[in-house]
Amino acid sequence: MNGQVQNQAQNRRRRLVSSDVLLAEEIVALPELPPRGDTIRRQLAITYAGAFEFQVGRSITWVDPSRILFAEANQSFIDRHVVPGSGHRSIILSPGPGTIEELWGNGDAPFAGRVRACTLRTQMLTQQLRRTLDPLAAQELGIAILEESVAESRSVTVVDPACVRRAKTILHGNSDGRLTLMQIAADVGVSPIYLTQCFKRSEGIPLYRYQTMLRLGRALDQLPERDDITDLAFELGFSSHSHFTAAFRSQFGMTPSHYRTESANTNLGRALAG
Q: Give the pLDDT confidence of 19-38 residue by residue, as tens digits.
A: 999 999 999 999 999 999 99
Give the confidence band of 43 by pLDDT, cuts at 50, 70, 90. very high
pLDDT tens-place string over residues 59-84: 999 999 999 999 999 999 999 999 99
- The answer to whether residue 178 scores a pLDDT higher than 80 is no
* Amino acid 270: pLDDT: 38
Of 91-100, 157-166, 167-176, 192-201, the least confident: 167-176
Q: What percent of the chain has pLDDT over 70?
A: 92
* Amino acid 122: pLDDT: 96
CA proximity to 67, closest of 238, 250, 216, 213: 213
- The answer to whether residue 274 scores a pLDDT higher than 90 is no
CB atoms within 10 A of CB 189: 10
- The answer to whether residue 101 scores a pLDDT higher than 80 is yes
Determine what percent of the chain falls in helix, strand and coil, rounding each to the nearest 5.
45, 20, 35
* Amino acid 265: pLDDT: 58
Give the confidence band of 5 by pLDDT, cuts at 50, 70, 90. very low
3-state secondary structure of 8: coil
pTM over 0.85: yes
Give the confidence band of 107 by pLDDT, cuts at 50, 70, 90. low
CA proximity to 94, closest of 44, 149, 150: 44
- The answer to whether residue 109 scores a pLDDT higher than 50 is yes
CB atoms within 10 A of CB 108: 12
CA proximity to 80, closest of 95, 59, 103, 101: 59
- The answer to whether residue 3 scores a pLDDT higher than 80 is no
- The answer to whether residue 231 scores a pLDDT higher than 90 is yes
CA proximity to 269, closest of 57, 26, 96, 23: 26
List C-alpha distances in Å: 67 to 20, 70, 89, 173. 26, 10, 13, 17
CB atoms within 10 A of CB 163: 19
Helix (H) or strand (E) holding 162: helix 162-173
Residue ranges and CATH numbers for the domains of the chain are 12-148 (2.60.120.10), 162-273 (1.10.10.60)
